[in-house]
Amino acid sequence: MEHEKYLSQAIELAQNNVKNGGRPFGAVLVKDGEVISTGVNETNETCDITAHAELLVIRRANEKLKSPFLEGTVMYASGQPCPMCMAAMHSAKIDKIYFAYSYEQGQPYGLSSTDILEELKKPIEDQSIEIKHITPDGIDQHPYEMWSNQN
């Protein structure tokens, strides 16, 4: 029942966003039964392709909790999170993710990330964006090594 409450809140955020000219996505982040942050997709408003509801919710929660990590939290999303949002949720260490509408349900409306998922499954040399691994000569200290030595 609790999951339905938060999913309904995410869906209501998505519906209101559509009424205001936005895309149909909303998200709610919960910790210990308390809503930590909410958000809607703001890509149209901000012209920022990364302004997905889940990413904005994560950013707000990071600021509120003063931590890059969100252990003990649960994400509720109106739609199945895209690969970018999933990567961010894994990186933030969110414990659980629940969503209301799947890629398959979004497909007829052009709201599915299945094409991106398929692209990311390909070896980098076969992807549609040219991706090359180049390490420049003349670098006096590897930045990863510098970071490791300071931590």
Which residue of the set 12, 34, 54, 118 is catalytic? 54
Can 2 be counted among the known catalytic residues? no
CB within 8 A of 84, min separation 6: which ones? 50, 52, 55
CB within 8 A of 144, min separation 6: which ones? none
- Rounded CA-CA distance 145/130 in Å is 27
Which residues are part of the catalytic machinery? 54
